[in-house]
Amino acid sequence: MMSEKILLKEIPNYHEIEVYKKHGGYQIFKKAVKKNPDEIIEEVKKSGLRGRGGACFPTGMKWSFMPKGSSTPKYLCINGDESEPGSFKDRQIFEFNPHQLIEGILISAYAIGAQTCYIYIRGEYGKWIKLMQKALDNAYADGLVGEKMKKTFDCEFYTEIYIHKGAGAYVCGEESALMNSIEGKRGYPRVKPPFPPQYGLWGYPTTINNVETITNIPAIIDKGGGWYAGIGESKHPGTLLFGISGHVNKPGVYELPTGTLLSDIIYKYAGGVLGDKKIKAIIPGGSSVPPIRGEEIEGLKMDAESLKEVGSAIGTGGIIVMDEDADLVKILARITKFYHHESCGQCTPCREGTGWMLKTLNRILDGKGTSHDLDLLIDVANNIEGHTICALGDAAAWPVKFTIERFRDEFEAKVSKSIQLPVMNKVHSMRLTSISIDNVVIE
């Protein structure tokens, strides 16, 4: 197990600019500008760094999509929206390591040729917006950002960094909705193609990366891509910020190498389950990823490929633990309520489907559900999945679909075939007749 931390170093007051500089801060950018931008991109490719926002797309490859040798304005957006329920790791960087994020932005902007960068932070993060703005103001005052950096670092390159406060919409965590929000438009996701590197902010080439992703960059440039690639799992290297919550004794954020056993995260780092109860279910990467059963955790590694093998995903690394007494129907209804509320309304399957799923789950909670409702929920989820402009539709559909499929017994216990359903307009004379659900023919 690697003891060194890359993102949340255990150095007192590391968030202060003088402390950060004392430990070599902003010297890595000085080293980076002596290299060709393509060399920086190749080093990041060599590192195997994959996006930490949920999609796990290779970072170096994403950077290489940006057009080269053009005077066209280019933009870099840092996604700190972090609205995924169960995810709370980016705010740790805002609070405890803001200058490494800023230095990562400088290096990334140099690599892709972006002279304007935006840090997009969710509106509810009032405290962390202030902390990040203070760190950025100090960096500007020291000539480390903006035009003064040309003199500070003895280079021709400079970039501006702005903090953009979101208005609290989950959908703005999707990259194209985020760009619309920055432009002052409604946070609707865009149809792709064109993709951001071709047509992004104001129609110009744009790259969007997560906060945690960019904060890894200084370490990669300082110690080399090969060094980083040797940490954790080879197909998904580096450390991850695992945010664990739910029925555990020590909820919090733990920086660990990819491939760390899920059982170790729960029992070794998070202190085990409250009351020493058994685990019924775990959501391993934020509320939108498929849950796994408690008996599946033994030997399960926390990396993208390992979780894919058990039908789930690493997502944002937000681990939600549910003990043996957890009511999965209530939990699923609460998750579905969130996605129904956060649907932007642009796509009919998502706008209407999330509402129908919530109504059906509430019907089950009210004791009026039937087994047919469970099949109906899966059917509605299947009709949402893959039929929307952005992934919010999938994020709403997966919890419903996979929770019911993997914990069907929990849901069957909440429904009854003895329920009497009023069947209206069967024929005029039977309009107000109630018949048993057993006699209803489902076409």
- Domain range annotation of the chain: 17-229, 232-323, 328-412
Please name which of 354, 379, 374, 355 lies closest in space to residue 364, comparing C-alpha atoms: 374
pLDDT, mean of residues 374-399: 96
d(CA 249, CA 47): 35
User: pLDDT (tens digit, 9 = 90+) per residue, 258-295?
Assistant: 999 999 999 999 999 999 999 999 999 999 999 999 99
pTM value is 0.92
Q: What angle do CA 351, 353, 359 make, to 5 degrees?
A: 110
Q: How far apart are CA 303 and CA 317, in angstroms?
A: 9
The 3-state DSSP composition of the chain as helix, strand, coil percent (nearest 5) reads: 45, 15, 40
d(CA 302, CA 393): 25
- What pairs with residue 261 in β-bridges? 301
CATH code reported for the domain at 232-323? 3.10.20.600
User: CA 144 to CA 136: how far, in whole Å?
Assistant: 9
Q: Does domain 17-229 have CATH number 3.40.50.300?
A: no
Q: How is domain 328-412 classified at the architecture level of CATH?
A: Up-down Bundle (1.20)
> What pLDDT is attached to residue 70?
75
Please give the average per-residue pLDDT across 41-65, as a whole number: 96
With a cut of 60, say whether residue 432 has pLDDT above it.
no
Is residue 73 over pLDDT 80?
yes
- Say how far apart CA 252 and CA 83 lie, in whole Å: 17
Q: How far apart are CA 78 and CA 175, in angstroms?
A: 10
**Residue 243: strand pairing partners:** 253, 318
DSSP state of 278: P
Could you tell me how many residues make up the chain?
443
